[in-house]
C-alpha cells in the first residue's frame, strides 16, 4: 500500500501543499489533473527524486520519506522514458539487478522472464535508438519492473503511442498489474485510460482557494 500524508513539495516557484491519499496494495490507480498542476512533481516526490518540504510518504506502512530513491523499491517510468542510449535492451533489463549484485543465473532468468512477459525477446541485443515508440515503452517498463518493485509509477506511459499500439499497451499494463501484483500509480490526461485501467481514480484539482487537493473516486469508476 502507498500512502501520502500531508505531502508538501516544491518545484521552483510552484508548490503542492497538503496532498494526502492512499492506494491499496495491488491496485491500479490512475492520477489525473490539468497540465501543469503538479502530477509529475508528485511522482518525483514519491520516488525520492524531489525532497519533501512537509508530510511523509509511506510504503507498506513504512515512512520512506528520507530514504534514497534506490532503497524505496519503486519502479519509475518517466514520460520521455529516459532510456540509456549507450545500452542494449538486455542491459536495460539487467541494470537494476546488476546494481543489486544478483548472480548471473538470477539475472539471466529474470531477463528471460521479463522479455517473454513484454514480448521483447527479439530486441534484446539491439540498442535503443532505433526502437519504435511501443518497443521503447516496453523496454522502459521492463527496466522499471526488473527488480520487482512494490510500486510502479508511470508518467503518461502511453500518451505518445498511436491508437492501435495504445490499445495493446493498455492491455499489457493491466495484465502486468494482475500477474505481478505490483501496485500501479499511472498519470494520464486520457479519460479512456482511466476508465479502462483504473481501479481507483485520483484527481488533482485546484480549489477555489487556490490550493491543489486530491479527489479520490472508487473502484471501477
Partner 1 sequence: MGSGAESLPVKLDGRRRGVSRDAVFFLVMGGLSASFVVLIVLLLLADVSFTSPAAFAAALRKPEILAAFRLTMLTCTLAAVLSVWVATPLGYLLSRFRFPGSRLVDVIVDIPIVLPPLVLGLSLLILFHQPFPLTGVFGAGWKLEDWLEEFAGFPVTYRWPAVVLAQFAVSCAFAVRTMRVTFDQINPRAEDVARTLGCTRGQAFLQVALPQAWRGILTAGTISWARALGEFGPILVFAGATRFRTEVLSTSVFLELSVGQLDAAVAVSLMMVLMAVAVLLFLRWLGAGMST
**Interacting stretch for partner 1, rule CB under 8 A, among 51-59, 79-87, 199-207, 213-221?**
79-87
Among 25, 49, 112, 219, binds partner 1 (CB under 8 A): 49
Q: Which three cell numbers stand for residue 2?
A: 502507498
* Interface characters, 156-195, with partner 1 (x: CB under 8 A): ----------------------------------------
The Cα–Cα gap between 214 and 94 comes to: 36
* Residue 197 near residue 30 (C-beta atoms within 8 A): yes
Contact between 110 and 161 under an 8 Å Cβ cutoff? The reply is no
Q: How far is the CB of 177 from partner 1 (least distance, A)?
A: 19
Which window, 19-27, 96-104, 180-188, 196-204, contacts partner 1 (CB under 8 A)? 96-104
Does 99 sit near partner 1 (CB under 8 A)? yes
Q: Does 109 participate in binding partner 1 (rule CB under 8 A)? A: no
Query: Which of 44, 135, 156, 193 is in the footprint of partner 1 by CB under 8 A?
Result: 44
> Is residue 214 a contact partner of residue 204, using CB atoms and an 8 Å limit?
yes
For the chain, first and last CA: distance in Å?
A: 19
Grid coordinates of 54: 512537509
Amino acid at each position: 500500500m502507498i500512502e501520502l500524508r500531508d505531502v508538501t513539495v516544491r518545484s521552483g516557484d510552484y508548490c503542492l501543499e497538503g496532498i494526502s491519499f492512499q492506494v491499496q496494495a495491488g491496485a491500479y490507480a490512475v492520477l489525473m489533473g490539468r497540465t501543469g498542476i503538479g502530477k509529475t512533481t508528485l511522482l518525483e516526490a514519491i520516488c525520492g527524486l524531489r525532497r519533501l518540504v512537509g508530510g511523509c510518504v509511506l510504503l507498506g506502512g513504512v515512512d520512506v520519506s528520507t530514504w534514497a530513491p534506490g532503497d524505496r523499491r519503486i519502479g519509475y517510468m518517466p514520460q520521455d522514458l529516459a532510456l540509456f542510449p549507450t545500452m542494449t535492451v538486455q542491459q536495460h533489463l539487467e541494470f537494476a539487478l546488476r546494481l543489486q549484485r544478483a548472480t548471473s543465473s538470477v539475472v539471466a532468468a529474470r531477463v528471460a522472464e521479463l522479455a517473454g512477459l513484454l514480448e521483447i525477446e527479439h530486441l534484446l541485443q539491439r540498442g535503443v535508438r532505433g526502437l519504435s515508440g511501443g518497443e521503447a515503452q516496453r523496454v522502459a517498463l521492463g527496466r522499471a519492473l526488473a527488480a520487482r518493485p512494490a510500486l510502479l509509477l508511470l508518467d503518461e506511459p502511453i500518451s505518445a503511442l498511436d491508437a492501435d499500439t495504445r490499445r495493446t499497451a493498455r492491455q499489457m499494463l493491466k495484465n502486468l498489474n494482475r500477474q505481478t501484483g505490483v501496485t500501479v500509480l499511472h498519470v494520464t490526461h486520457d479519460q479512456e485510460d482511466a476508465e479502462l485501467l483504473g481501479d481507483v481514480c485520483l484527481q488533482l484539482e485546484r480549489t477555489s482557494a487556490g490550493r491543489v487537493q486530491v479527489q479520490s473516486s472508487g473502484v471501477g469508476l
